[in-house]
Amino acid sequence: MALTVHEALKLDALKRFRLVAGMSGLDRKITRAGILDHEVGEQILNSVQVGEFIFSNLLAIRDQPEMIVDFVRNLIDAQAACFAIKTIYFKEIPKEAIELAHEHGLPLFLFDETYVETIILEIDKAINIKNHQEHIKLIIDQITESNLNEFHIRDLAYQINRNFKKNFIVYFATEIEVHGGTNTPLFNPNNLSQFLGGNSLVISYRNGYLIIATYDKDDHEYIKKVSESALKSSGLMDGTYRLGISEIKNSLGLLGRAIDESKYAYDFAYLYDMNEVSFLNMGIYQLLIPIMNNPWVYSFYKGIIEKLTNYDNNKGTDLLNTAIAYVESEGNIQTTSKNLFQHTNTIRYRIRKINEILETSQLKGMTYETLAMAIRLYLINSKLL
């Protein structure tokens, strides 16, 4: 996606801009930045590019404040991204112009002191960086979503960063939402990039951050220790972010798998409200989360869950929640009884009823595993999809 007006406002040169209208248009995309000082009327329509961030001191109409409304209207017709007025000739904007900008969602700013040329250079730089990042994201998507061989994936990895080394680990992180309180994350992706060095990648990706840390040294303990030290130093492991961590790989041809592992590990961490999880420690979920969208998998657990929910709805029972507690207690009756505040005999009766409804006596072994698999798939679907 292109640089938005809201993102541009985070640039140092724009921090003192004052928004006077058009807040609803802050998500507009910026294609470039330009200056209009002498153009009026149709000249504006012929000069402005769709998505352009326009700057002007309104020199051409400095003695005609009533013309500001027409100036704004022409920018709206030209589909400019936003309009920033340097307060040389006008300290205030007519009410009619503000209302017009509000109506059409055209962000309207006032600013002073800052050189326009400096602002434009900073915006152009940000646009170029954003475009480069979008190109990298497309390559990452190609690596993870296409059925490519390891040689092709390695070539694509070097397109992302020609300085990548063959030994690496991947992290995926998103900010943890804190309800009922303030949460100010200290993580700065630029700082992390500096800590990791030029042979790594830190990029905003899929509503989070993807971190690929590569090393010359083929030492798993070293890679884990050094990469985690960088993450801690940059504020990514202070409890405000949730992390999924891949296995350490020794070939860039496995980059697609490692990226997927980091995302699956993140999903597992989200599922059980954990701060960080390594793919290595997911157990059976190493299999279950990747196959969730398979129609055969969906049909399998849906059929089992529906039998329990239908019985609960008809009889006013609570067998599904009992089954969930039973599976999350690893099939331990005593633990299930304690967690549900029910007598052990009550739990035993419910488990027998569950097996009766599911007709597990007809299964050729693995009766508990069948129930456990269905419940775990159901929980993944309920919380992640």
123-146 pLDDT tens trace: 999 999 999 999 999 999 999 998
DSSP-derived secondary structure for 28-81? PBP-EEEE-SS--THHHHHHPPTTEEEEE--GGGTT-GGGHHHHHHHHHHTT-S
Question: What backbone phi and psi angles, to 5 degrees, belong to 173?
Answer: -140, 145
Q: What contacts 244, CB < 8 A, 6 or more positions away?
A: 171, 172, 173, 261, 262, 263, 264, 265, 266, 267, 268, 269, 276, 277, 279
Please report how the helices 295-315 and 344-358 are oriented relative to each other, as an axis angle in degrees rounded to 10. 120
Residue 136 falls inside a structural domain? no
Q: Is the pLDDT of residue 361 over 90?
A: no
CA 259/CA 364 separation, integer angstroms: 37
pLDDT over 90 (residue 39): no
Check residue 252 and give its pLDDT.
98
pLDDT of 249 over the 70 cut: yes
Query: Per the structure block, which two tokens stand in for 129?
Result: 């960086």
At residue 179, the pLDDT reads: 59
pLDDT at 177: 78
Q: How high is the pLDDT of residue 253? A: 98
Whether 152 and 110 share a structural domain: no
Domain for residue 102, yes or no? yes
- Has residue 339 got a pLDDT over 70? yes
CATH number of the CATH domain containing 157: 3.30.70
Same domain, 162 and 264: yes
What helix, strand, coil percent values describe the chain, rounded to 5? 55, 15, 30
Tens digits of per-residue pLDDT, 77-115? 999 999 999 999 999 999 999 999 999 999 999 999 778
Q: What is the pLDDT of residue 178?
A: 64
| 265 and 156 together in one domain | yes
pLDDT at 171 over 60: yes
- Do 151 and 277 reside in the same domain of the chain? yes
The phi-psi region of residue 375 (left if phi > 0; otherwise alpha if psi is between -120 and 50; otherwise beta) is alpha
Q: Are residues 322 and 276 in the same domain?
A: no
pLDDT, tens digit, 9 for 90 and up, residues 258-296: 999 999 999 999 999 999 999 999 999 999 999 999 999
pLDDT band at 37 (very low <50, low <70, confident <90, very high): confident
Residue 160 maps to a domain: yes
Distance of CA 95 to the CA centre of its chain: 39
Shared domain for 91 and 43, answered yes or no, is yes
The pLDDT value given to residue 236: 92
Which region among 22-26, 37-41, 248-252, 303-307 has the lowest average model confidence (pLDDT)? 37-41
In a domain, 128, yes or no: no
* Mean pLDDT of the 336-358 span: 95
Q: Mean pLDDT across the stretch 218-238?
A: 95
- Quote the CA–CA distance of 210 and 201 in Å, as a whole number: 8
Domain boundary among 250, 267, 288: 288
* pLDDT in the model for residue 362: 75
Please tell me the distance from the alpha carbon of residue 57 to that of residue 60, in angstroms, as a whole number: 9
Mean pLDDT of 150-174: 98
Question: Percentage of the chain with pLDDT > 90?
Answer: 87
**Same domain for 283 and 329?**
no
Say yes or no: 355 and 240 in one domain.
no
Residue 141 located in a structural domain: no
Which of 89, 122, 155 is a domain's end point?
Answer: 122
pLDDT of residue 380: 95
pLDDT on residue 271? 95
Q: Judge whether 130 lies within some domain.
A: no
pLDDT-derived band of residue 182, with 50, 70 and 90 as boundaries? Answer: low
Backbone angles phi, psi at 34, to 5 degrees: -150, 165
Residue 329 predicted with pLDDT over 60: yes
Strand partners, 85: 56, 110
Identify whether 239 is part of a domain: yes
Strands (E), the chain: 18-21, 32-35, 52-56, 82-86, 108-111, 167-175, 200-205, 208-215, 241-245, 276-278
Q: Are residues 93 and 206 in the same domain?
A: no
What is the average pLDDT value for the chain, to the nearest integer? Answer: 94
- CATH code of 72's domain: 3.40.1390.20
Residue 19: its pLDDT value, please? Answer: 97
Q: With 0-12 CB in 10 A as exposed, 13-18 as middle and 19+ as buried, what is 149?
A: exposed
- Within 8 A by CB and 6+ apart from 140, the residues are 160, 203, 205, 210, 259
Tell whether 332 is covered by a domain: yes
pLDDT of 1 strictly over 80: no
- For residues 251 and 377, membership in a common domain is answered with no
- Pick the last residue of a domain from 260, 288, 316: 288
Structure pTM?
0.81
Mean pLDDT, residues 190-206 taken together: 95
Number of domains in the chain: 3
Q: What's the domain range around 339?
A: 295-384
More confident residue, 313 or 185: 313
**Distance (Å, rounded) from C-alpha 196 to C-alpha 236?**
13
* One domain, residues 233 and 251: yes
- What does the alpha-carbon distance between residue 45 and residue 78 come to, in Å, rounded to a whole number? 5
Same domain, 257 and 334: no
CA distance to 166, 180, 242, 318, per residue, from 270 (Å): 29, 19, 8, 26
